[in-house]
Structure 1
Amino acid sequence: MCGIAGVFDLKGRREVSRELLERMAYVQRHRGPDETGSHFEPGLALAHRRLSVIDLETGQQPLFNEDGSVVVVFNGEIYNFRALIAELQAAGHVFHSRSDTEVIVHGWEEWGEDCVSHFRGMFAFALWDRGKQTFFLARDRLGVKPLFYARLEDDTVIFGSELKALLAHPGFRREIDPECVEDYFALGYVPEPRTIFKGAKKLSPGHTLCLRRGQSAPEPVQYWDVHFTLDNPISFEDACGELITRLREAVRLRMVADVPLGAFLSGGVDSGAVVAAMAHLSPDPVNTCSIGFDDPTFNESAYAARVAQRYRTRHYSGLVACDDFSLIDELAWLYDEPYADSSAIPTYRVSQLARRHVTVALSGDGGDESLAGYRRHRLHRNEERMRALLPLGLRQPLFGLLGRIYPKADWAPQSLRAKTTFEALARDSVDAYLHSVSVMRAEQRRQLFSNSFRTGLAGYTAAEVFHRHAAQAGTDDPLALIQYLDLKTYLVGDINTKVDRAAMAHSLEVRAPLMDQELVQWFASLPSHFKLRGAEGKFLFKRSLEPYLSRETLYRPKMGFAVPLARWFRGPLQDRVRQALLGERLADTGWFNPRYLRHMVDDHQSGIKDYSASIWSVLMFEAFLRNLEGGKIERLAEEAPMQGEVLPC
């Protein structure tokens, strides 16, 4: 796991400043504390910060082919690298290391742009082929590893593992994109391929970008997508057996490392399944790490301990105070963009704990998206059945009226909280799903933004993100459609972003077996009733795991990695909330309605209504602005050692 950065001159062969490249790499030094490397030639500069995981002695980067004409910097892991080495050696390629990185340069020589189709893993890399004068960027299929890039006004392309690398370049313009502000307050993150800045993009998962010197820059090309065929004829009983076989294979591939390895263990189904598979495959006790909270309402550590005891793991647990809100400013620095998933706090803490004992940790991320594990999946399916009974032309006025007049009863039993359901029934399927997952829904965003900001959006709404993906889903199955949307939006923009930044802040590599491309596609071939049956999500997964995990682990209600925001904002953070939401920084943007901000703060702190999720999203946006203005990037970049100096970890 590493940090990469670089500069490519599209027009010619202008020299790249060594000092500039070292600054772009240095601001990401947390991603690679072990070694640093760089490569320069006219019109090109590549930098690499290494976290050594495989081939500790000879896996340094940048890494070259036999004659030095092809060079790569790479972040991630190619899990099938041993099989690829054998295949490429049989084709005549000569390897000089045992590193998975080297299969990229030889794969490029053998297969060209299609090399990515041969790689099974998580990756983001930049490759230069001098003979073809070609610069190639690639990102893995499910967006586990990040890759940012920008084309500057002088026709140079800059890239990095984090936006920090781009922000360290003096030619990068920090102009915020208003449409991405709308996206952020709807979703809690800025979805691919855009970033909060107009001039920068994320390379979308499953895409490559091939640039040739002297030619106009093309658009990225998609090389992979998940296809929800739902046509696998396998029986349910056979699918249970095959699932375990496929899970173990995905886990086995991710257990290759030359450094200490372990797993996150939350006490839930997904992490328990991964640990069970690891225990089956390992002759030694598995290292497991979990975080508990001092408030039992948010504490799953006892369930994690039971799984650890069953599999006799070497278990490490930590306790976090429920008033652990000291990370707000640190999170703004880590994520570079506004990011509003508060579970980043415990994720940061469990990564911090894990890094004391291991360098690589396996996680259970990705299971809910592929196997319909979220409560919203069940609710959406039920709503779809009701939507099918009435055409949209009748549903919109009827349920739209009910949604407007029905009170939002957060305090009431679940069966009486009908307002959201009425609002969803008044929409089409895609808009309804966006409505259900939004941090701040459309009407609330309308009140949040100033009149001038809404005018500037010119009718744009975050719904366009979902409709764009829905048009490519290739399925009309209600459950499969929203699973596809989750894989394209929430999994990448929220889950993978959260884990990558929180873990890499501690130089910890996280691998997710349930995001194995072949496993994900196999899940997508199964009929929807295997995944969601009655009120039970992940039905096939849980049935398959009954011999390996207790019924309590498998069937207890999902808890999640929550933090007590509502209490924080009425207690220890109430002054911070007032200063941030009602202060000059947000007011000076001209983007927000100060009366609505005050309404949210007053109603929440008086206990009239729970606005905690909305307040957190605004609080983190204000922290993003403060971080951007604070000059930390500039100060850190100035600390970058010059050539020949010792690079600190």
Structure 2
Amino acid sequence: MCGIAGLFDTRAKQTFPRELMQRMNDIQLHRGPDESGYHFEAGVALAHRRLSIIDISSGQQPLFNEDESVVVVFNGEIYNFQELIPELTALGHRFHTRSDTEVIVHAWESWGEACVERFRGMFAFALWDRNRQTFFMARDRMGVKPMYYAILDDGTLMFGSELKVLMQHPGLDRSMDPLAVEEYFALGYVAEPRTIFSGARKLEPGFSLCIRHGQPVPEPKPYWDVRFTLDNKVSLADAQAEMVERLRESVRLRMVAEVPLGAFLSGGVDSSAVVATMAGLSSEPVNTCSIAFEDPAFNESAFAQMVADRYKTNHRVETVQSDDFDLIDTLAALYDEPYADSSAIPTYRVCQLARKHVTVALSGDGGDENMGGYRRYRFHMMEEKMRGALPLGVRKPVFALLGKVYPKADWAPRVFRAKTTFQALGRDSVEAYFHSVSILRGDMRAQLFSPDFQRRLAGYNALEVFRRHAANVGTDDPLALIQYLDIKTYLVGDINTKVDRASMAHSLEVREPLMDHPLVEWLASLPSTHKIQGQEGKYLFKKAMEPMLPNDVLYRPKMGFAVPLANWFRGPLRERVRSALTGEILAATGMFDPAYLRHLVDAHQNGSRDYSAPLWTLLMFEAFLRNCQAVTGSVPAMRAA
């Protein structure tokens, strides 16, 4: 696992300053503390920070082909590199290392842009081919590894593993993109391909960018997408057996390392299945680690212990205190742009714990999205049955009116919130799902944003992120639609971002067997009835894991990896949240309605509403602004209208 950075002059052949590249590289020291490397030539500068995992003795980067005409910097792991080496050797390539990085340069020589289609893994890389005068960059299919880039006014392209790398360049436009702000307050993150800054972009998962020197820079283009065909006729019993074998293969590939290896063990289905599979593949006890919470409502450590005891793992547990909120400013600096998933706190702590004992950890991330595990999926499916009873033209006016006049009941369980149900029934499937996952829903954002900021949005709604992806789903199956939307948005923008930054803050590599793309493609071929049956989500996976895991782990209610925000904002963070929301930093942006900010704080702290998620979202936005002020000397301005 590593950090990469670079500059490429798309028009001329300027010489880039070494001190600039060193600043860009040094700011991501945490991603690769073991070594650094650079390459400079006319019009090209590449930099690399290395966390040594495979071929420790000779896998240094930047890495070249035989005649040094192709050079690459790479972050991630190509899990099938050992299979590709004989094939590339037969094509005449000579390997000088045993690293997966060298596979990239030779695969590029033989297969060009199509090389990415041959890679199985998590990766972000950039390479320069002097003979072809071509610069190429790519990101893995599931967006596990990040890639930020910007094209400056003078034609310079710069890239890096984190946004803070790009912020080292004085030419980056750091004004805030109002559309990104709208996306953040709806979703809790800025969705690909935007960043919070107008001048920077994220390369989307499964996309590549190929530039010929001296030619106009094209748009990135996709090389892969998951297709929910749902046409696999395999029986449930046969699918269970195949699920076990596919998981074994995926885990086996991710256990290759020359450094200490372990796994996260939360006590949920996904991480427990990964640990059970690892135990079956290892002759030594698996290293596992868990975070426990003081508050029993959030504590899954007993279930993790069941799995640890069953497989006799080397299990470590640390307790997160109920007031572990000192990380707010740390997280703001770590994520570079606004990020509102409060589970970043325990994720940071579990990575901190794991790094004391291992350098590589396997996780269970991706299981819910790919196998239908979220409770919201079941709610959506129930609502879809009701929506299917009436055409949208009839539903929309009737239920929109009922949703408007019916009293709000946030205090009640969701199934009894008639206002919310009426509103959902008055929407189409994409809008209803977007509404259900939004942190601040449309009516709240309308009240939150000032009239001036709403004019800057010019009618833009973050719903368009979901609309854009829904146009490509290729099926009318209601579960497949929302799985696809989550894979394209939540999994990338929230889950993978959270884990990458939290793990790399501690120089820990996290690998993701449940996001192995052949496994993802196979799961997408299965009928939705294999994933949700009645009220049981992740049905196939749980049935497949029954011989390996206790029923108490498989069939208990899902808890998630949460922290007690509601209590924090009425207790130890009471004054901090009030001062942040009513203070000078947010007021100076001109983006928010001060009266609505006061309402959010007052209503939450007097107990009449639970506004913990919106308050955390605003608190982290304020922390982002303060971090920018600390780094650059000023709060970023809004992009000119």
Aligned to 2:31: 31
Cα distance in 2, alignment partners of residues 358 and 26 from structure 1: 24
1:596 is aligned to 2:600: no
Q: Show the 5 A alignment for 1:122-161.
A: 122-161=122-161
Deviation at 1:277, TM superposition (A): 0.5
Aligned to 1:380: 380
1:371 is aligned to 2:375: no
Q: Which amino acid aligns with 2:22?
A: E
Deviation at 1:396, TM superposition (A): 1.4
The gaps in structure 2 that reach 5 residues or longer are 635-641
Q: Secondary structure at the match of 1:248?
A: helix
Q: Secondary structure at the match of 2:230?
A: coil
Q: Which amino acid aligns with 1:574?
A: R
Residues 414, 149 of structure 1: alpha-carbon distance in 2 compared, 3 angstrom cutoff: closer
Aligned to 1:568: 568
Aligned to 1:641: none
Cα distance in 1, alignment partners of residues 416 and 113 from structure 2: 55
Deviation at 1:414, TM superposition (A): 4.2
1:191-236 superposed Cα distances (whole Å, 9 cap, x missing partner): 0011111111000000000011100000001000000000001111
Preserved CA contact (<8 Å) 1:10 1:213: yes
Aligned to 2:214: 214
Deviation at 1:398, TM superposition (A): 1.5
Cα distance in 1, alignment partners of residues 293 and 34 from structure 2: 32
Q: Show the 5 A alignment for 1:38-437.
A: 38-437=38-437
Q: Secondary structure at the match of 1:329?
A: helix
Q: Which amino acid aligns with 1:326?
A: D
Residues 172, 16 of structure 1: alpha-carbon distance in 2 compared, 3 angstrom cutoff: same
Cα distance in 2, alignment partners of residues 276 and 93 from structure 1: 39
Q: Which amino acid aligns with 2:553?
A: T
For normalisation by structure 2, the TM-score amounts to 0.98
1:463-503 superposed Cα distances (whole Å, 9 cap, x missing partner): 10000000011111111011000000000000000000000
Aligned to 2:14: 14
Q: Which amino acid aligns with 2:542?
A: K
Aligned to 1:646: none
Cα distance in 1, alignment partners of residues 414 and 369 from structure 2: 24
Deviation at 1:632, TM superposition (A): 6.7
Cα distance in 1, alignment partners of residues 414 and 49 from structure 2: 50
Deviation at 1:407, TM superposition (A): 2.6
1:523 is aligned to 2:523: yes
Deviation at 1:88, TM superposition (A): 0.6
Preserved CA contact (<8 Å) 1:195 1:337: yes
Aligned to 1:444: 444
Cα distance in 1, alignment partners of residues 398 and 378 from structure 2: 23
Preserved CA contact (<8 Å) 1:27 1:633: no
Deviation at 1:410, TM superposition (A): 2.7
Cα distance in 2, alignment partners of residues 423 and 328 from structure 1: 34
Q: Which amino acid aligns with 1:161?
A: S
1:154-190 superposed Cα distances (whole Å, 9 cap, x missing partner): 1100000000000011111101000110000000000
1:496 is aligned to 2:496: yes
Q: Secondary structure at the match of 1:631?
A: helix
1:595-633 superposed Cα distances (whole Å, 9 cap, x missing partner): 000000000011110000000000100110110111279
Aligned to 1:639: none
Preserved CA contact (<8 Å) 1:81 1:100: yes
Cα distance in 2, alignment partners of residues 441 and 169 from structure 1: 36
Preserved CA contact (<8 Å) 1:194 1:202: yes
1:284-329 superposed Cα distances (whole Å, 9 cap, x missing partner): 0000010001111111111101100000001011111011000000
Cα distance in 2, alignment partners of residues 349 and 402 from structure 1: 45
The gaps in structure 1 that reach 5 residues or longer are 635-649
Q: Which amino acid aligns with 1:75?
A: N
Deviation at 1:588, TM superposition (A): 0.8
Q: Secondary structure at the match of 1:159?
A: strand
Tell me the percent identity: 70
Cα distance in 1, alignment partners of residues 150 and 420 from structure 2: 39
Q: Secondary structure at the match of 1:393?
A: helix
1:456 is aligned to 2:456: yes
Paired residues in the alignment total 634
1:10-67 superposed Cα distances (whole Å, 9 cap, x missing partner): 1111000000000001111100000000000011000000000000000000000000
Preserved CA contact (<8 Å) 1:73 1:125: yes
Cα distance in 1, alignment partners of residues 301 and 527 from structure 2: 34
